[in-house]
Chains A and B, each alone.
Chain A
Amino acid sequence: MKVGKMISGTMRLALVLAIICGLAFPAAITGIGQALFPYQANGELAQVNNTTVGSYLIGQSTNNSHYLFNVRNDSASGVDPDITVASALAQAQVIHNSTGISMAYLAGLIHNNTHYSMFFFGTAYVDSLYLNIQIIDHFHNTVSVYGKIYNETGK
C-alpha cells in the first residue's frame, strides 16, 4: 500500500472534519440557539433593577444571611444554586425575624417555586437566587436592606 498517499489522505480528512465538526457545527448550533432561545443560550441571566446580578443557574453565597437565602457550600459543583425546601424554611424563619416579612409570604414563595429531583417525588428544592430576587423586587421600597441592594445594582 502507498503509505505516503494514505497519510496525506488521512491528514486531509482530519482537517476537513475538524472544520465541519469543530467549527461549523458549534457555530451553527450557536446561531440556532441564539436565535431561538437567547435567554437560555446566554446562561439564564438574572436581573435586578435592570442590572445583571448573576445567573439563575449559578449559586451565590451571601454575606447577608439574615436577609437573604444562602446556598450550601458542599455541593459537587461548588456553585449549586438550589437548597432543599427544609433548609429554605429554616432560613425563612431567620429572614422573618430580621426583616419582619411574614412567614406566610416566605412559605408561599417557597411553596410556589418548589421543584423535585425526580420530577414528582424525591428531594424538594428551590433556587435560592430566584427567591432572593423575588424578595428584593417585592420589598425594596419597604425594607431598607433590600432597597440598598436594589439601588446599588443600578449603578
Chain B
Amino acid sequence: MIGAEYLLIIALVWTIIIGLAWGLSKYLKKVYENEKTFLDWILNPVESFIYRIIGIDRNKEMDWKEYFLALFSFSIMTAVISFLVLFFQGFLPLNPMKFPDLSWSLALNTAMSISSNTNLQHYGGGSSLSYLSQMVGIQFLQFTSAATGLAVAVAIFRGFSGKKKDGAKLGNFYVDLVKSITRVLIPLSLISAVILIAFGIPQSLSGYSIVQTLSGAAQIIKVGPVASLVSIMQLGTNGGGYFSANSAYPLQNPSPLTNYLELGMMMLLPTSVIFLFGRMLGKKGEGRSIVLASYGLYAIDLAIALVPVFSLGAGMETRFGGFSPVFWTVTTTAFTTGSVNTSLAAMNPIVILSAFMGMIIQATPGGIGVGAMYMLMYVIITVFIVGLMAGKTPEYLGAKINAKDVKLAVLGFLSHPIIILIPTALAYATGAVHALGFGNGPVGFTQVFYEFTSSAANNGSDFLGTEANTVFFNVSTGIVMWAGRFIPILIMLAIAGRMQDRKRSAEIALRTDNLVFPVVLIASIFILAVLTFFPFLSIGPILMHLGGLKNAL
C-alpha cells in the first residue's frame, strides 16, 4: 500500500495547480474577450505590427470552415518551415557541432510530429540536431501548436456559448493564435525558463564543450538553448525534449525540484482552459463539473498505476526515486504531453496500462485546448445516452442536441481507434515490426501499439525512440499524428458552428453543473473508450502483467 506521504504530494501538486489554473483562467478570459490587461501597453503595438505584416483584417469573424482552413493552412506552413530547417540543417547557421542533414523521412516525421503537438521523437535531439533546428525546427512549432490548441478551444467555446448580439461567429483564427502566443505562452514560458535556469537547466548558444574527466576520458557536455525549449514543451503539452532521454537527462531535469516544476507546468494550461470554458459561458459551474470529471479520470489512472509496488530500479534516475517516474508517466499521458523522466521500459505493465488509458481517452484532462475539446465531444455523446435512457430530447446548455451532432461526435470518437488499429495491423502485415527485431509476443505488440496510440493521441512518448527511424514508421506515424490532430478538430469546430445558432431554452432539462453529471460523464467515457480498446489492451500490457513479462531495457 502506498504511503500517506506520497498521497500528500499528489494532493499538494493538484491543489497548487488547480488553484493557479483557476486564477489564470480569469486572465485568459480577458485575453480572448478583448478586455484590458496589464500587458496592453507593450503588446498592443507588437500585435498591430504583426497584423500589418501579414495583411489580415483582425476584425473579420470566421465561421467554422474558415477557421479550420486558416488553422490547417497555418499548420502546414509551420511544418514546411520545420521540414526545411531540419532537411538542410547542415548548410544552415547555428550548428557548432556540425550535425548533418536529417533524412527526408525523418525530417518529415519530425515536422509532422511537432506541428501536431505530438512530439514523437524518432531523432536523437542532443546528438543530431543543431541549435537552429532545436530553436526553429522544434521550439517555434511547440509555441504555434500549443497556441493552435488554445485557439481551437476558445473558438469551440464561443460556438457552445451561443449567438452573440453583434453577429460574432467563432472568432478570428489569426488573432486567437497571435494572442495565445504573445499574451499567454511567451509570458508564461519566459517566467518558467528563467526559473528553470536558476535551478540548473542550461541555456547557452556557445556549443557543446568537451572536457577531460577525472579518469582522463573525453566527455561531451551538451549545453544549448535547453531551458527555453523545456519551458514551452511542458507548458504547451508538447513533450519533445531537447535530449533523447527527455526529462530523464540531468541537463533537462537536474533535481527533484525541477522535476515537480516541470510536472506542474504541463498540468497548468489544460486545466485552466477548462475553467475558461465555464467563464466564457458565464456559467462557472459548467467548467467546474468538467474539471471534476477530468480530474476524476486522472485519479483513476493514478490509482491503477500505483497498484504495483514502486521502487528505484534499472532504467530510472536516482534523483527521482521510484515514485516520481510513476506519477510523471501517468501525468504525461493524462495530459497527452509525452515527455518522460524515466525509461518507459522500466515501468510495470500496469503503469503502462494506465498510460494507455490517458492516451485513449485524451481528456484526463488532455492536451492544451484539445483536452477540453474532447471532453465536449464526450459530453455530447453522454447527454445523448442519458437522453435515451430518460426518454428526453438530449440537450446541453439549454440547446437541443440533434442526430447529426451526435453522429459527428461519434465519428470524432471512432476516428481514434481506426487510425490506431489499422496502422498497427499494417506494421505487422508489412513486416515492419519484425524488421525492428520483435517477434509476435505481447512485449513487441505493446510497444508498437503504444507507438500508434501515442501518435494518434498527439502524446509523443514512446518505447521505440530512434529505433523507429525507418521509412515505414516515419511515414505511417506522421500520417497518424496529423489525422489524430486535425480530424477531431475539424469535427468539433463543425459541431461548435452548428451549436452557435441553435435556440437556447431558459429551462434546463438536464443539469450538467452539479456533482452527479461528472460521475455520469466518467462512467460513459469509461464504457466508450476503455471497452473499445479492451481487446487490444488485453493482448498487450494486461497479458504482459499476467505472464510476468517485462520490457527489455
Contacts and interface: CB of A to CB of B under 8 A. Distances in A.
Contact of A123 (B77, B193, B312, B553): B312
Given A33-B194, A53-B212, A60-B214, A1 B69 contact: yes
Contact of A54 (B143, B211, B314): B211
B215 A64 contact: yes
Contacts, number: 255
Given A54-B211, A122-B323, A9 B181 contact: no
A113 interface: no
Contacts of A132: 214
A22 B186 CA distance: 11
A75 B317 contact: yes
Interface residues of B, number: 86
B250 A81 contact: yes
Contacts of B211: 45, 52-55
B421 to A, nearest CB: 30
A119 B245 CA distance: 23
Contact of B214 (A9, A116, A149): A149
A122 B321 contact: yes
Contact of B201 (A13, A25, A40, A129): A40
A25 B346 CA distance: 36
A21 B203 contact: no
A12 to B, nearest CB: 5
B54 A13 contact: yes
Contacts of A48: 214
A29 B70 CA distance: 30
A107 B461 CA distance: 40
B229 A26 contact: yes
Nearest to B220: A58
A14 B74 contact: yes
Contact of B223 (A5, A43, A68, A153): A43
A26 B233 CA distance: 13
A45 to B, nearest CB: 7
B104 to A, nearest CB: 21
A9 B459 CA distance: 30
Contacts of A41: 197, 202-204, 227
B256 interface: yes
Interface stretch (B133-141, B351-359, B489-497): B133-141
Contacts of B181: 17, 20-21
B305 to A, nearest CB: 17
Interface string A1-40: 1000111111111111110111101111110111011001
A43 B111 CA distance: 28
B135 A26 contact: yes
A52 B5 CA distance: 40
Given A14-B78, A122-B321, A60 B215 contact: yes
B174 A13 contact: yes
A33 B203 contact: yes
A136 B213 CA distance: 13
B553 A136 contact: no
Given A17-B181, A21-B140, A60 B316 contact: no
Given A33-B203, A43-B221, A77 B73 contact: no
Given A45-B221, A117-B320, A10 B77 contact: yes
B50 to A, nearest CB: 6
Contacts of B318: 72, 75, 80, 82-84, 117, 123, 125
Interface in A97-148: 115-119, 121-123, 125, 129, 132-133, 136
B174 A61 contact: no
Interface in B66-91: 66, 69-70, 73-74, 77-78, 81
Contacts of A68: 214-215
Contacts of B223: 42-43
Nearest to A123: B321
Contact of B190 (A27, A29, A40, A55): A29
Contacts of A81: 250
Nearest to B65: A1
A129 B211 CA distance: 14
A79 B249 contact: yes
Contacts of A57: 200, 250-251, 254
Contacts of A14: 74, 77-78, 81, 144
Contact of B174 (A9, A58, A152): A9
A80 B201 contact: no
B499 to A, nearest CB: 23
B322 interface: yes
Contact of B53 (A12, A21, A72): A12
Given A15-B81, A77-B250, A44 B317 contact: no
Nearest to B198: A37
A50 B127 CA distance: 28
Contacts of A13: 50, 54, 56, 74, 77, 174, 177-178
Interface of B: 5-6, 9, 50, 53-56, 66, 69-70, 73-74, 77-78, 81, 135-136, 139-140, 143-144, 174, 177-178, 181, 186, 189-190, 193-194, 197-206, 209, 211-217, 219, 221, 223, 225, 227-229, 231-232, 243, 245, 248-251, 254-257, 312, 314-324, 340-343, 346, 553
5 contacts: A9-B54, A42-B202, A43-B202, A117-B312, A117-B320
Given A77-B249, A117-B321, 17 more contacts: A12-B53, A12-B54, A25-B186, A26-B228, A30-B225, A37-B197, A41-B202, A53-B211, A62-B214, A72-B318, A75-B318, A76-B245, A79-B249, A80-B250, A83-B318, A119-B256, A119-B257
